[in-house]
């Protein structure tokens, strides 16, 4: 399969090049040149197949030409090593728990898949240095996903004092090929340092740099698997009912992957885009006019995105046709107050503890459900990760303590020269390797 940019289909590149480049040269996002349809027989066999077998059949058309079948199987085996269960919350409503991975958020699957792809691409004695700026969640998923992967050195830049203790622990406690750098500045300063490094040609002559950004095709595509796994679990209950899937969304990578699954033939009736006060997608859905804006902080902070990067992938999937898009996607938005009320209500009525992101997903699903439908909402994070918000709803809720005493981090100013010198002094350059 070849990939091209959302902005032009002129330059076609392989899966490998798309993973290594991350973003297309015209700043568009990479997309596959077509979305393959799965055979009817695949869906007939689905219930008897293992998760690994399903994952292989779904992803192999995309990686063909870069990864041979055995390489893909090995990567999937390393990626899918924790359960993704669909848990019944109330009548007809299921929570697909994506938080059983090492960092308790759904980004684990994509980060691990990408790390193992990069390891498969790397030549003997060659080191790739992955730079990531993070405000919290991405850094922990990438740290854990890339931990111990041969040939890949990861540098995570996070703003000093601005990530939770839990997130800091996840980024700083691993060691080996993962280094956490605490920058004396803001998240934007971290991002600027990373961008400057990528633009620094002299540095790039000496270090082989890569990014683990969420728009990377190797993080994006494996998210399709959630929907297939969920279908495998729910199919015996579906009969002739319609299946709705609600996705708490920020950059819309996860939801767009669900749309890809639907286009491959998975019988999702409609996807529901669940948003907090960061609502440019919701307003587009309602009015047909798209206006990105600055993000506002909310309780479901992994969804605080004012300009969702995967909007371009959605638009290209529907050829900018708003009416066509509305046939496949419903949308809704909810306030922090509604989020907290829902955590409380669902706990008391159904004995299920939602995290703030899952709560928004649950609310959006409820809005579109009727007697003819069965619904799944994606529970994207463990409630422990958002203890302070969950406690507003459930004062007795308590997450396990995090111990920061064994953690290692490097302190850095926000001056690019300092960061550059450190990178060159402490890292194996291309020529030495």
In the complex, the residues that contact ligand PLP under the rule CB under 6 A are: 105, 107, 137, 248-255, 302-303, 357, 380-381
Nearer of residues 356 and 375 to ligand PLP, judged by Cβ:
356
One-character DSSP codes across 173-185: S--TTEEEEEESS
73 part of the active site: no
Q: Taking the mean position of all CA atoms in its chain, how far away is CA 155? A: 19
Nearer of residues 208 and 298 to ligand PLP, judged by Cβ:
298
Nearer of residues 138 and 177 to ligand PLP, judged by Cβ:
138
Least CB distance to ligand PLP at residue 362 (A): 13
Say if CB 7 and CB 24 are below 8 A apart.
Answer: yes
Least CB distance to ligand PLP at residue 73 (A): 26
Q: Which residues pair with 178 in a beta bridge?
A: 154
Q: How far apart are CA 142 and CA 101, in angstroms?
A: 12
- Pick from 77, 38, 72, 40: nearest CA to 58: 38
Q: How far apart are CA 218 and CA 142, in angstroms?
A: 12
Nearer of residues 118 and 255 to ligand PLP, judged by Cβ:
255
Distances (CA, A) of 227 to 24, 45, 47, 211: 27, 16, 13, 26
Nearer of residues 151 and 253 to ligand PLP, judged by Cβ:
253
Nearer of residues 177 and 251 to ligand PLP, judged by Cβ:
251
Least CB distance to ligand PLP at residue 26 (A): 22
What is the H or E stretch that residue 88 is in? strand 86-90
Q: In what order do the strands lie in the sheet with 13-14?
A: 13-14, 2-5, 30-32
Catalytic option among 27, 40, 77, 107: 107
- The residues, any chain, with a CB within 8 Å of residue 376's CB and separated by 6 or more, are 86, 93, 94, 95, 96, 230, 234, 243, 244, 245, 246, 365
Least CB distance to ligand PLP at residue 360 (A): 9
Q: Taking the mean position of all CA atoms in its chain, how far away is CA 276? A: 17
Please tell me what DSSP assigns to residue 39.
Answer: P
Catalytic machinery residues: 107
């Amino acid at each position: 399969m070849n990939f091209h940019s959302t902005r032009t289909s002129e330059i076609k590149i392989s899966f490998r090049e798309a993973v290594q480049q991350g973003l297309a040269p015209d700043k568009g996002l990479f997309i596959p040149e077509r979305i393959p349809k799965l055979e009817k027989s695949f869906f007939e066999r689905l219930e008897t197949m293992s998760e690994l077998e399903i994952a292989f059949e779904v992803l192999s058309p995309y990686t063909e030409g870069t990864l041979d079948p055995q390489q893909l199987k090995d990567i999937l085996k390393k990626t899918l090593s924790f359960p993704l269960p669909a848990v019944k919350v109330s009548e007809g409503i299921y929570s697909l728990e994506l938080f059983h991975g090492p960092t308790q958020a759904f980004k684990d699957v994509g980060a691990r898949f990408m790390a193992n792809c990069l390891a498969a691409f790397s030549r003997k004695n060659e080191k790739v240095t992955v730079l990531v700026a993070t405000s919290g969640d991405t850094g922990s998923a990438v740290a854990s996903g890339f931990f111990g992967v041969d040939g890949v050195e990861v540098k995570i830049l996070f703003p000093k004092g601005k990530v939770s203790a839990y997130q800091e622990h996840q980024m700083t406690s691993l060691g080996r090929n993962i280094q956490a750098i605490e920058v004396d500045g803001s998240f934007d300063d971290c991002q600027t340092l990373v961008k400057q490094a990528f633009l620094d040609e002299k540095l790039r002559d000496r270090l082989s740099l890569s990014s683990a950004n969420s728009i990377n095709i190797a993080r994006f595509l494996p998210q399709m698997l959630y929907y297939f796994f969920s279908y495998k679990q729910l199919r015996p209950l579906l009969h002739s009912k319609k299946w709705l899937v609600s996705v708490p969304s920020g950059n819309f990578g996860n939801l767009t992957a669900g749309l890809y699954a639907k286009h491959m033939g998975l019988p999702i009736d409609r996807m529901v885009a669940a948003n907090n006060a960061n609502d440019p997608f919701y307003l587009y859905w309602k009015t047909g006019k798209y206006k990105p804006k600055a993000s506002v902080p909310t309780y479901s902070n992994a969804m605080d995105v004012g300009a969702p990067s995967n909007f371009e992938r959605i638009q290209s999937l529907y050829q900018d046709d708003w009416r066509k898009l509305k046939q496949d996607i419903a949308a809704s938005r909810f306030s922090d107050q509604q989020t907290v009320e829902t955590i409380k209500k669902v706990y008391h009525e159904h004995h299920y503890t939602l995290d703030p992101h899952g709560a928004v997903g649950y609310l959006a699903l409820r809005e579109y459900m009727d007697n003819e439908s069965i619904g799944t909402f994606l529970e994207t994070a463990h409630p422990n990760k958002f203890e302070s918000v969950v406690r507003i709803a459930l004062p007795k809720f308590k997450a396990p303590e995090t111990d920061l005493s064994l953690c290692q981090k490097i302190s850095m100013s926000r001056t690019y020269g300092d960061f550059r010198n450190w990178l060159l002094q402490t890292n194996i350059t291309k020529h030495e390797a």
